[in-house]
Chain A
Amino acid sequence: MIASDREIRRYGEMMNATAFGDKPKEIVTSENLLYDAAERVGRIREGRQALHLHLSRLLPANREEAKIRIAFRMFETMADMFRGQLFLLTNSDIVLICKDARLADLDAIVYKLRALFSKDPLTYSESEDGEDRFVTFYDLESEYDPFFATCVQLLNDAKMRIAQARNAPQIQPLDARNLTKVLERIGVTDIASVVRRQPCLHFTEKQTAVVAFQEFYMSIMDLQKVLAPDVNILANRWLFQHLSQILDLRVLSVLQDAGFRKLPTAFSLNLNMASVETTMFRKFEAAIRGKAGLVVEFQLIDIFNNLDQFFRARDFLRSHGHKTVLDGMSPITLQFMDAERYDCDFVKLNWSGDMADDVVTSELHHALGPYGFDRVILARCDTEAAISWGLNQGIQHFQGRFLDSMVAAVTMAQCDKASACTLAQCNQRHGVISGHLRVECGNNDMLDLFPTLRALR
């Protein structure tokens, strides 16, 4: 008996519920159903076709459950006319098996789905052999074997994933009830241990790079481990935002007590705007006044919660000689806004590989041209390619792991205790402000120095 589409879908949902529920049993996944269907089709291949949408290859942010749900929904509505069998797989792929469909009609549907994910490289970049990575069509009369092999592979992968999910620890999403418990635990958590730092380097015309400021932030992954191992604190955007307001105050307090051998030229902090108006902030500000500069980085979510408060915070900071950063920009966000309107001292652009694409590069020029690339910080530079792209655009400020290693290498070259350590150790120790990693370094003076980098280009 052939299960209807609706039944298949229900099986898919059952699987999800059970895979993460209490008592795992033998589970019928949509991969099982696809396998069965593929087997049956093997006997009646005439006029049969299959279409495989590789949504599992999307970037993680685009593969969120909600987005896949919408994609499947749109696909389902359009694919209705083919009277085929539709499968939403547990890895987010979609497979359609149908009969005598016009390729042009199938193409039209795929086109719409592609448009939905048009910002994802999957939909516009081909693989090295020129194949479309987004979709595979099979004419089952002639291509049944490769299709069946794919179904077998999908089934095996699903089994493996379920087995892994069984062994994974139970994690609840953040909600109002467990947020209360998480907040209570902040008091007994060593926040200093999850504070990380990363330098922002200013490339000068003399072919040197000096540290413009050190950014201090919390490693959310590590925070999660020490604060709430059983709760996914990022699962709810609004509640996380509430949590971050309280964490801001702890970070400000931790930084005042940190035993820096040499204070950073400037501190850069990710703060909620509301935190700028607190006594804790004023105390911190008083503590570093005349000794170090201060840069505050703001997020769009916070700015748009209260634009007037943002202007107030920005102007307050400016009148006290501090600087501000519009944080978290990407080609997508810049499509919707004129960065110069926010009138911050810097705009932070997160590097991603697609920015090297000519079209994206020119869009970024259009978006950031009026603001000026000399005030852009290119962040998340993991590779040399990111730095060269940035330098070509006239960017002077850079941040990222690639530079972290360079800083560590230059530090080691000047450190008299360097023979005892590896580059990886030095790199790690630069990233923290307390704990055993810092203690293990034999030369904390050197660790806080952040020397100038020479002859970079």
Chain B
Amino acid sequence: MLGSPTAARARAASQEHLLLDYLNRLERHRTERRAVHIHLSGLAKHNQREQHLRIAAATFDNLVKMLQAQAFTMANADLMVVYKAQAQDEVESAIVKLRFLFSDDPLIIDDAQKGTLCTWYDLESEYDTLVALAQKMVAEEQARRRAEQEQAGIEARAQAKPKGAPFTPELLARVEAGLGQADLSNLMRRQAVCAIVGQAPPQPVFHELFISIADLRQTLMPNVNVNSSPWLFQQLTETLDRRVLSLLNKHDDRTLEGDISINLNVSTILSPEFMVFDDNVKAGMRGTIVLELQKVDIFADLGAYLFARDFAHDRGYRICVDGLTFSMLSFVDRERLGADLIKLIWDPALTEEKDVKTDALRRIGITRIILARCDTPSAIEYGHSVGITLFQGRHVEQMLMSDAKRRGLGRARPRG
């Protein structure tokens, strides 16, 4: 009746079997339970590497820990999550995070139109369908395993490689010299960009690392109005870029392992310093890295931007156009620029003439928008009312803190 010990062990380890077992056990507990089949097998092959799938599965870790869900990673890379109906919002916010992780993948791009990413099941009414699906998956998995064993050793898969005085040139020169000595790690700040769906607590998607300009000014040039010359300020940001990169290159606290975003100039992306950074990032276990660019920098030399964008995408970085107000959106066309994300600055005026504005946001792609500088709950409310799911700002930080307290963690975890 039983197979060989090896076969039994193999079967025990198969997630397809575990899913079927779990469903069988739920037979008499179908009420208030749902499942979602996430078709990650439809992702482009380069997005199906082990580390991607590991990160994808980890998205549901919290729910699993809180006993709200069980997640199964199928051999074909699909995810099956069986969860309690009360966790619907959390599940959806985890899926927002997944969409973000793979935002450049055709599957996700199609999903916005056709909803190809997920199939939802209500166990109360669709239990049998789901069990049949699980059985089919078991059968397929066994067939695949046999085929794989035959193929084993023949083909090795390609290794995944992984207000004050005016700002003058003299002052700029002095500040740039000062930056050489200053310990910028004191000025480095981080703020989470979170998926927030419904009433679920915010889920950090990545953390923006940035130099606090206010603190920098206070330290290196108190009483100077850096806004008095936008161009000198822009030059200062280039110098800062390089310092930040070298700081990140030196960091041994695993900063580069998490999902992060950094603010850079186009010219910095093309610089030798960035090549070193790219080497370090590749060497470490990198998560998603988002490069945030300013519109003035993009439009100052569109040819250079194109070049940097293609290079960054080739290396797996995401491009985000930073700091846009609603009125700029018709001038900065995300799609034509080939940027993955934009940051829209929250402004209560967004709620005026809402229908027109909502249409405009939909054209950009609502899932591509991060609503930034959300300092009040009204920002989140507005975002939700138009379908925005990614948020950043002081209020989001507060929500994170209170969620962490509620869960009994002393403080927010350093990374999500």
Identify the A interface with B (CB < 8 A): 61-62, 64, 66-67, 69-70, 73-74, 112, 115-116, 119, 175-177, 179-180, 183, 236-239, 241-242, 245, 300-301, 303-308, 332-333, 335-338, 341-342
Contact = CB atoms under 8 A, between A and B. Distances in A.
Given A119-B303, A177-B173, A239-B235, 20 more contacts: A66-B267, A66-B270, A70-B307, A74-B314, A116-B310, A176-B172, A176-B173, A237-B300, A238-B238, A242-B235, A300-B299, A300-B300, A300-B302, A303-B299, A305-B231, A306-B230, A307-B328, A332-B306, A333-B302, A342-B331
5 contacts: A73-B275, A179-B169, A242-B229, A301-B301, A338-B330
A301 B302 contact: no
A112 B336 CA distance: 20
Given A304-B299, A336-B333, A341-B330, A115 B310 contact: yes
Contacts of B229: 242
Contacts of B330: 338, 341
Interface string B228-244: 01111011001000000
Contacts of B231: 238-239, 241-242, 245, 305
Contacts of A241: 231, 234
Interface of B: 168-170, 172-173, 176, 229-232, 234-235, 238, 267, 270-272, 275, 295-296, 298-304, 306-308, 310-311, 314, 327-328, 330-331, 333, 336-337
A304 B295 CA distance: 6
A64 B267 CA distance: 11
A69 B303 contact: no
Contacts of B306: 119, 332
A366 to B, nearest CB: 12
B270 A238 contact: no
A304 B300 CA distance: 8
Nearest to A80: B161
Contacts of B170: 176, 180
Report which residue of A62, A180, A304 has the largest number of chain B beta carbons within 10 angstroms of its beta carbon.
A304
A339 to B, nearest CB: 11
B349 to A, nearest CB: 14
B291 to A, nearest CB: 14
A69 B270 contact: yes
A439 to B, nearest CB: 36
Contacts of B169: 176-177, 179-180, 183, 239, 242
Contacts of A73: 275, 311
A305 B229 CA distance: 11
A337 B172 contact: no
A70 B300 contact: no
A66 B310 contact: no
Contacts of A175: 173
Contacts of B267: 66, 237
Contacts of B311: 70, 73-74, 116
Given A70-B270, A242-B169, A306-B230, A335 B235 contact: no
Nearest to B268: A66
B173 A332 contact: no
B235 A238 contact: yes
Nearest to A334: B302
A301 B267 CA distance: 14
Contacts of A119: 303, 306
A76 B302 CA distance: 25
A67 B270 contact: yes
Nearest to A310: B331
B354 to A, nearest CB: 22
B238 A336 contact: no
A308 B301 CA distance: 20
B251 to A, nearest CB: 23
A336 B337 contact: yes
The 10 closest A-B pairs by CB, nearest first: A66-B270, A176-B173, A304-B299, A301-B300, A242-B231, A176-B172, A238-B235, A179-B169, A241-B231, A238-B234
Report which residue of A70, A112, A177 has the largest number of chain B beta carbons within 10 angstroms of its beta carbon.
A70
Given A239-B235, A304-B300, A66 B271 contact: yes
Nearest to A78: B314
B176 A176 contact: yes
A271 to B, nearest CB: 15
A62 B307 CA distance: 9
A123 to B, nearest CB: 13
Contacts of B176: 176
A69 B235 CA distance: 22
B303 A337 contact: no
Nearest to B172: A176
A67 B307 CA distance: 7
B272 to A, nearest CB: 7
A301 B270 contact: no
A242 B306 CA distance: 25
A239 B170 CA distance: 12
B248 to A, nearest CB: 19
Nearest to A274: B230
A455 B306 CA distance: 43
A22 B247 CA distance: 31
A239 B331 contact: no
A73 B308 CA distance: 12
Contacts of A70: 270, 307-308, 311
Nearest to A311: B327
A336 B302 contact: yes
Nearest to B311: A70
Contacts of A183: 169
Contacts of A74: 311, 314
Contact of A336 (B307, B327, B336): B336
A332 B271 contact: no
Given A74-B314, A238-B231, A238-B234, A62 B270 contact: no
B14 to A, nearest CB: 34
A338 B327 CA distance: 15
B270 A305 contact: no
A342 B301 CA distance: 18
Report which residue of B173, B238, B302, B333 has the largest number of chain A beta carbons within 10 angstroms of its beta carbon.
B302
A119 B304 CA distance: 11
A67 B238 CA distance: 17
B299 A69 contact: no
Given A119-B303, A238-B238, A305 B333 contact: no
B272 A69 contact: yes
Contacts of A333: 302
A237 B330 CA distance: 26
Contact of B299 (A66, A236, A301, A335): A301
Contacts of A305: 230-231, 296
Contacts of A238: 231-232, 234-235, 238
Contact of A62 (B230, B275, B303): B303
A74 B336 CA distance: 24
Report which residue of A303, A305, A333 has the largest number of chain B beta carbons within 10 angstroms of its beta carbon.
A305
A436 to B, nearest CB: 33
A64 B235 CA distance: 19
Contacts of B299: 300-301, 303-304, 336
A332 B337 CA distance: 11
A341 B310 CA distance: 27
Nearest to B167: A242
Contacts of A341: 330-331
Contacts of A66: 267, 270-271, 304
Given A67-B307, A74-B311, A116-B310, A242 B232 contact: yes
A177 B232 CA distance: 12
Nearest to B303: A332
A368 to B, nearest CB: 15
A335 B333 CA distance: 10
